[in-house]
Amino acid sequence: MSSSPLSSSAPLRTALIGLGRIGFGYHAPAIVNHPAFNLVGVADPLPERRAEATANWQAPGFDSVETMLREKRPDVVVIASPTTLHQEHTAAAFAHGAHVLCDKPVARSVAEFDTMVAAGAAAGRKFLAYQPNRIKAELRTLRDILAQNLLGPIHAIKRANSSFTRRADWQAFRANGGGMLNNYASHQLDEMLALTGHAPVRSVFCHTRCVATAGDAEDFVKIVLVTEGGVLIDVDITQAAAQPVTAWQVFGSRGAATWDAPAHVWRVLYYVPEEAPLLNAQQGLAAAGRKYAHEELPWRELTVPADATSDPDYYDLAWRHFALGEPAPVTTDEIRQLLQLIERCRTSDSTGNLA
């Protein structure tokens, strides 16, 4: 039996920049637990974090990114530092001949992102953004439901990410690149783009507020998009909601789908046109029998579980992209469209107009 590409390939020498929540809590364990990656070094300005990482994973710690890259010569650099440092750290990784996997939001602007991608092209190395929501069961199952055309043409999508959190960490401040438009909207808008096939967006409305946060970066975001195809996308991102908000609802001409988060299932209500009574339109101004329009439709109900255990491993996809040249789970063009949307949101928020 021939060996798989993974079993016959040497692990990619991988360095991690940033040992905060996402770097320490997700990226470091994902690297050390994946046979295709070998954690050869970690960089963070705090000595206690470096010591903890070394104790946990036997990876040498560095207070200098430049020193780590020069001494360890990684194949891949995972960037989990604050957003304001992403361009600097990406440039350093490319300068030392490494590919880059960068956490979201990858950049503060489209112009900054273009500079990062250009640096990768000049170095002959790949840039990959970490956007895991688009491959999770919740969204993949919804896409399967929509592919069956049970709901008819989709005309509206509502998405909410809600909690009540009095934010007081670095992400509560604009100077650090914080705020929910950068933070959670990077996920929610990417979900919308993936769900609509990255359709062009005709108009963008955005309004932000600081409600419960201790800082000056928004903790409440309202976004309304309309695609060129006419789909209205309504996104609520709030850390000032003391009661839960329904996370997903998708509306079509023949039904709707609602995400039941506690049960981890989609609840679908729809009718089949062939089973519906004939619709007789009355154009006259006098309603027959003075009755309000009403009909009994033969609704069907469907419960579709989303199996999170079947979620692809983002590091599997990253390895296949870096080592085998397979397509990226999210392309640089798609990330650029995401960053353009965030910029249009900021423009709308500052002017009060559509962008």
* Within-domain flag for 1: no
In a domain, 25, yes or no: yes
Q: What is the pLDDT of residue 7?
A: 45
In a domain, 338, yes or no: no
In a domain, 343, yes or no: no
At 113-123, the pLDDT tens digits run: 999 999 999 99
79 and 224 co-located in one domain: no
pLDDT digit string, tens, across residues 136-181:
999 999 999 999 999 999 999 999 999 999 999 999 999 999 999 9
In a domain, 325, yes or no: yes
Query: What is the CATH number for 248?
Result: 3.30.360.10
Q: How do residues 197-251 score in pLDDT, each as one tens digit? A: 999 999 999 999 999 999 999 999 999 999 999 999 999 999 999 998 999 999 9
- Alpha carbon distance 172, 216 (integer Å): 6
DSSP state, 183? T
pLDDT of residue 308: 86
Q: Which pair of tokens denotes residue 51?
A: 């010591």
Q: Is the dihedral of CA 305, 254, 144, 139 positive or negative?
A: negative
Q: What's the structural domain count of the chain?
A: 2
- Residue 335 within a domain: no
Residue span of the structural domain in which 298 resides: 134-311
Q: Are 184 and 90 within one domain?
A: no
The reply to whether 101 and 160 lie within a common domain is no
- pLDDT attached to residue 289: 80
Quick check: is 95 in a domain?
A: yes
Nearest to 31 by CA among 65, 79, 86, 73: 79
Claim to verify: residue 52 and residue 121 sit in the same structural domain: yes
Is residue 353 in some structural domain? no
Q: Are residues 34 and 75 in the same domain?
A: yes
Q: Are residues 160 and 228 in the same domain?
A: yes
Local confidence band at 8 (pLDDT 50, 70, 90 cut-offs): very low
Q: End-to-end distance of the chain based on CA atoms, in angstroms?
A: 57
**Once rounded to an integer, what is the mean pLDDT over residues 337-348?**
98
- E-only strand ranges, 176-239: 201-209, 220-227, 232-238
Are 161 and 249 within one domain? yes
H runs (alpha helix) in 97-236: 110-123, 137-147, 185-195
Section 331-340 average pLDDT: 98
- Is the domain of 156 the same as that of 191? yes
User: pTM to 2 decimals?
Assistant: 0.93
